Amino acid sequence: MSRSTPEYILAALPTHQTASLPHTRPVRVTDTLSIGGSEVVIAAGPCSIEGFDMLLASARHVKAAGASLLRGGAFKPRTSPYAFQGLGDEGLVIMAEVRDRTGIPIVTEVLDTRQVDRVAQIADVMQVGARNMQNFALLAELGRCGKPVLLKRGASARVAELLLAAEHVMANGNDRVILCERGIRTFETGTRYTLDISAIAVLKHETHLPVLVDPSHAGGRSDLVMPLSLAAIAAGADGLIIEVHPNPPAALSDADQQLTFEQFSDVMKQSARVAFACDRTIKLPDLNTRTAAESTEISPPFDLRRPARDKVAVA
Residues listed for the chain = 315
Smallest separation, CB 206 to ligand PEP (Å): 20
Contact region with ligand PEP (CB under 6 A), list: 97-105, 129-137, 158-166, 260-268:
129-137
Contact residues for 101 (Cβ-Cβ < 8 A; gap 6+): 56, 59
Closest alpha carbon to 241 in 249, 232, 250 = 232
192 binds ligand PEP (CB under 6 A): no
Smallest separation, CB 82 to Mn ion (Å): 17
Q: Which does 111 bind (CB under 5 to 8 A by kind): ligand PEP, Mn ion, none?
A: none
Residue nearest to ligand PEP (CB): 129
**Which residues 209-228 are close enough to bind ligand PEP by CB under 6 A?**
214, 217
Q: By the 8 A CB rule, do 286 and 64 touch?
A: yes
Which C-beta is closer to Mn ion: that of 264 or that of 276?
A: 264
Q: Which does 130 bind (CB under 5 to 8 A by kind): Mn ion, ligand PEP, none?
A: ligand PEP
**Which residues 91-110 are close enough to bind ligand PEP by CB under 6 A?**
109
Instruction: Tell me whether residue 285 is exposed, middle or buried, using C-beta atoms within 10 angstroms of its C-beta: 0 to 12, 13 to 18, 19 or more.
Output: exposed
Which C-beta is closer to ligand PEP: that of 133 or that of 284?
A: 133
Q: Which residues pair with 177 in a beta bridge?
A: 149
- Can you say how many angstroms the Cα of residue 133 is from the centroid of all Cα atoms in its chain? 14
Q: By the 8 A CB rule, do 210 and 187 touch?
A: no
Which C-beta is closer to Mn ion: that of 182 or that of 273?
A: 182
User: How distant, in Å, are the alpha carbons of 12, 77, 127, 306 from that of 120?
Assistant: 26, 18, 10, 41
Question: Which run of H or E residues covers position 290?
Answer: helix 289-294
Smallest separation, CB 109 to ligand PEP (Å): 6
Smallest separation, CB 209 to ligand PEP (Å): 17
Q: Which does 238 bind (CB under 5 to 8 A by kind): Mn ion, ligand PEP, none?
A: none
51 binds ligand PEP (CB under 6 A): no
Task: Determine the Cα–Cα distance for residues 183 and 196; give it in Å rounded to an integer.
Answer: 6
Q: Which does 175 bind (CB under 5 to 8 A by kind): Mn ion, ligand PEP, none?
A: none
Contact residues for 30 (Cβ-Cβ < 8 A; gap 6+): 105, 124
Q: Which does 208 bind (CB under 5 to 8 A by kind): ligand PEP, Mn ion, none?
A: none
Which C-beta is closer to ligand PEP: that of 255 or that of 278?
A: 255
Which C-beta is closer to Mn ion: that of 196 or that of 254?
A: 254
User: How distant, in Å, are the alpha carbons of 24, 118, 132, 304 from that of 123?
Assistant: 24, 9, 18, 38
Near ligand PEP by CB under 6 A: residue from 63, 152, 168, 208: 152
Task: Determine the Cα–Cα distance for residues 272 and 231; give it in Å rounded to an integer.
Answer: 12
Q: By the 8 A CB rule, do 148 and 128 touch?
A: no
Which C-beta is closer to ligand PEP: that of 27 or that of 251?
A: 251
**Where on the chain is the footprint of ligand PEP (CB under 6 A)?**
47, 73, 77, 109, 129-131, 152, 182, 214, 217
